[in-house]
Amino acid sequence: MLFKKRLTVSLFALPVLLMPGLLKAQQPAAVTIPVKTAGHALVLQTDKDNNLRTIYFGKRLLNEEEYGQSLSVYKQSGDDGGMLSNAYTPSGTRNLAEPAITVTHADGNNSLDLHYVSHQVNKVNDNVSITSVLLKDPVYDFEVTLYYKTYFSENVIEQWSTIRHHEKGDVTLQKFASANVYLRSESFWLRQYHGNWAREMQPEEARLTHGIKTIDTKLGTRANLYEPSCFMVSLDKPATEQEGTVLYGLLEWSGNFRIDLEVDPANNLRIIAGINNYASPYVLKPGEAFTTPAFLYTVSHMGKGTASRQLQQWARNYKLLDGKGSRLTLLNNWESTYFDFNEAKLAELLKDTKKLGVDLFLLDDGWFANKYPRNNDKAGLGDWQENKSKLPNGISALVKEAQNDGVKFGIWVEPEMVNPKSELYEKHPDWVIKQPKRDEYYFRNQLVLDLSNPKVQDFVFGVVDSLFIKNPGLAYIKWDCNAVIYNAYSVHLQKNQSQFYVEYVRGLYKVLERLRAKYPTVPMMLCSGGGGRVDYAALQYFTEFWPSDNTDPLERIFMQWEYSYFYPSVSSSNHVTDWGKQPIKFRTDVAMMGKLGFDIVVSKLSPGDLRYCQDAIQWYNSVKSIIWQGNQYRLSDPTAGSVASILYLDDAKGSGVIFNYLVNNRYKEGSVLPTRLQGLDPAKKYRIKEVVLYPDTKSTIDAGKVYSGDFLLKVGFNPDVRAARSSVVLQIDEVK
């Protein structure tokens, strides 16, 4: 890492460091390490035995000296071993709670103790700093460095650890968490997610009770399918959009993860997050470093809205590929053709792409394989040569045709996978993840390739690389991943099977790293049979993700709402399809709340519907920078009432768009009460007009009226949502 180094040791520590001779005579003075962002502080401190503990996690104090005394006002008991608040809890010694790390030393001993040695703060730039703390076992030559990377103005922290040893033989890491966070509060409220195909991001919220609640996955790939690693914890009571203290947590890892939330005997919350150690003891050689992925979190003391805006801002500034850049609107052919297409049909769709007014045509699954043609999902995966009967002139002819039509061309791949009915499988059975002595078991008729094997990494890289080499005009990739890992076994790893799950993900990142080194800017969609793989480790290589195959707009209002807590709208690919019963306006409006795309048969649209789509795309192009880069305010919660409203507002608080939907079709349901706006400048004056009306319909909104920001914030605005106006899009602009 390239940054300016600056060693900062707390004043309290100076006597220890400067006069080591004093150590024997005196008890070491406490070392206090504040890890601060604009509004939040996490404070670590050594105890009398030199254990590093979390003494404070909350709002920043005005006077830094007072962090040291914060513990004195707590009268909790229950921490018998004195380890519950450990900054990275070891096991096998005094700790009897859930550990962050468990090891088997070279001599077979299972005990670990970690004592503070030193720390430093490296300023990366005015907004970003990394605090690192070195801990060592006093008995074994074993050490852990804890990292806290702070993004000051976004109130975001990334926490990870690096584990090393110099013992006389290999050490086995039985558990190796990224982070161990400690929170004190009256009560803790967890909002977590579950789901499945077409049912992604289903929220559940409950008070955490004593004991351990684990959110995890053991699926290997498609890690988010049943339980994503994103969650939120509110303190004292469930946070609302504008009130309450809330922590949003996510693990930056695309494979097996495990997050333990333990309300301990002292009634505090221990969050231990990292790679899932399930079936994964990791053998670490002397001198080798094991670096965990980062656990990412943001804390807001002003409710969920602020927390999301912080995280969205952080993602655009630092993590999501091209987070501040533009995106391509597109027409996808998956639902309009499935596997049934040929050159002539695609030529029509390319013309439709232009007619609709979007930027790019995206050719989905089914374009490849010859010996076992990809005419359904049972065959061909792995054989990435154009299917000669569907595409006799290859992809390059389509790219040229697209160019002639004035649109760009993108393509679908699923390079990590193989159908047993494929030439790839016949040629390289040893590249496939399966148990050598057991029957194969398929997920969507396919198996996963062994990305721990460098030869497989080369192959997967080559699939995408050769598409670009042959078609330099290729402008977009949709990267799919439809199977989970059953029968986890790698021929390549031989006796090191327990490292398989970790090595798979590392292999995936190596491929993506190579691709991005060669093709840094080509937009890529992260897809996994819907939203099976959405995380910030992957999103540093992808410009957007596919939230779900479920594009019923009513469902999407709820799903996109939940995703929006954690991910910015610019990363959310939303397509207009034929799912659901809503009219085209409703479907398009919902899709416009992120990165707009279509997957419909344009030629079958009625003239009115086609015109609506064309007008909407034009309007979208004029405001997309506000939707993608502006600040998002969730105004009216669809789970709490009949209307969903979301505002996107530019930084200057001068222009914004508000999407409003009816989500309850019962008699007379609608926006009876006004929706209070957020984020506006109370001193400014605004005008609100309804936009993107369906052809030949009139708005009921008086666009001439002027409101003060103060009025809109305190009283609100009524979008007049009701059965006859189930989707209402408003544009709000400052009146100067």
Spatial distance between the Cα atoms of 579 and 556, rounded to a whole number of angstroms: 10
Per CB under 6 A, 334 contacts ligand DGJ: yes
Q: CA 230 to CA 245: how far, in whole Å?
A: 17
Of these, 365, 386, 535, 650, which contacts ligand DGJ (CB under 6 A)? 365
Stretch of residues binding ligand DGJ (CB under 6 A), selected from 527-535, 565-573, 631-639, 691-699: 527-535
Q: Could you tell me the smallest distance in angstroms from the CB atom of residue 531 to ligand DGJ?
A: 8
Q: Count residues binding ligand DGJ (CB under 6 A).
A: 11
Q: Does the protein bind ligand DGJ through residue 530 (CB under 6 A)?
A: yes
Cα 726 from Cα 662, distance rounded (Å):
5
**C-alpha to C-alpha distance for 103 and 167, rounded to whole angstroms:** 12
In the complex with ligand DGJ, which residue's Cβ is closer, 144 or 369? Answer: 369
Q: Which residue is nearest to ligand DGJ (CB)?
A: 365
- CB-CB contact of 363 with 412 (8 Å): yes
Cα–Cα dist 9/289, whole Å: 24
Q: Decide: is 116 part of the binding site for ligand DGJ (CB under 6 A).
A: no
Phi-psi region at 241: left, alpha or beta (left = phi > 0; alpha = psi -120 to 50): alpha
Binders of ligand DGJ among 184-223, rule CB under 6 A? none
Q: Which is nearer to ligand DGJ, 481 or 511 (CB)?
A: 481
* Nearer residue to ligand DGJ within complex by CB, 364 or 386: 364
For residues 648 and 651, give the distance between their C-alpha atoms in angstroms, rounded to a whole number: 10
Work out which of 482, 571, 573, 642 binds ligand DGJ, going by CB under 6 A.
482
364: contact with ligand DGJ by CB under 6 A: yes
Q: Going residue by residue from 603 to 632, which x/- string records binding to ligand DGJ, judged by CB under 6 A?
A: ------------------------------
User: In terms of Cα–Cα distance, which of 39, 581, 104 is closest to 302?
Assistant: 39
- Tell me the C-alpha distance between 267 and 621, whole Å: 51
The region of 23-31, 81-89, 257-265, 526-534 touching ligand DGJ under the rule CB under 6 A is 526-534
Distances (CA, A) of 75 to 72, 87, 89, 128: 8, 20, 22, 35
Interaction between residue 361 and ligand DGJ (CB under 6 A): no
Written as six digits, the tokens of 235 are 């303190």
Contact predicate 425/419, CB 8 Å = yes
Per CB under 6 A, does 598 bind ligand DGJ? no
For ligand DGJ, the closer CB: 46 or 573? 573
Tell me, what DSSP letter sits at residue 528?
B
* 8 A C-beta contact, residue 611 and residue 695: yes
Task: Rule CB under 6 A: choose which of 147, 412, 536, 620 binds ligand DGJ.
Answer: 412
Cβ proximity to ligand DGJ: between 79 and 377 the closer is 377
Specify whether the backbone of 720 is left (phi greater than 0), alpha (psi in -120 to 50) or beta.
left
CB of 541 to ligand DGJ, least distance (A): 18
Minimum Å gap between C-beta 366 and ligand DGJ is 8
**Cβ-contact 376, 616 below 8 angstroms:** no
Of 269 and 358, the one with the shorter C-beta distance to ligand DGJ is 358
Judge residue 212's burial from the number of C-beta atoms within 10 Å of its C-beta, 0-12 exposed, 13-18 middle, 19 or more buried: middle
Q: Give 357 or 529: the residue with its C-beta nearer to ligand DGJ.
A: 529
Instruction: Lay out the site mask for ligand DGJ across 536-555 (x = CB under 6 A, - = otherwise).
Output: ----------x--x------
184: tokens are 């004190």
**Given the complex with ligand DGJ, which of 98 and 549 has the nearer CB atom?**
549
Q: Which H, E and C letters describe 88-151, residue by residue?
A: CCCCCCCCCCCCCEEEECCCCCCCCCCEEEEEEEEECCCCEEEEEEEEECCCCCEEEEEEEEEE
Q: Of 90, 255, 529, 656, which lies in the binding site for ligand DGJ, with binding defined by CB under 6 A?
A: 529
Q: Is 416 in the site for ligand DGJ (CB under 6 A)?
A: no
Among 61-69, 178-186, 317-325, 523-531, which window interacts with ligand DGJ (CB under 6 A)?
523-531
Give the max Cα distance, the chain. 89
Q: What does the block give as tokens for 724?
A: 């006859």
Q: How far is the CB of 425 from ligand DGJ (least distance, A)?
A: 18
Q: Looking at 146-154, 268-276, 398-406, 525-533, which segment touches ligand DGJ (CB under 6 A)? A: 525-533
589 is an interface residue for ligand DGJ by CB under 6 A: no
User: Who's near 435: CB < 8 A, 6+ residues apart?
Assistant: 487, 489
Is-contact 686 732, C-beta < 8 A? yes
Does 527 bind ligand DGJ (CB under 6 A)? Our answer is yes
Q: How far is the CB of 330 from ligand DGJ (least distance, A)?
A: 12
Residues of this chain that interact with ligand DGJ (CB under 6 A) are: 334, 364-365, 412, 480, 482, 527, 529-530, 546, 549
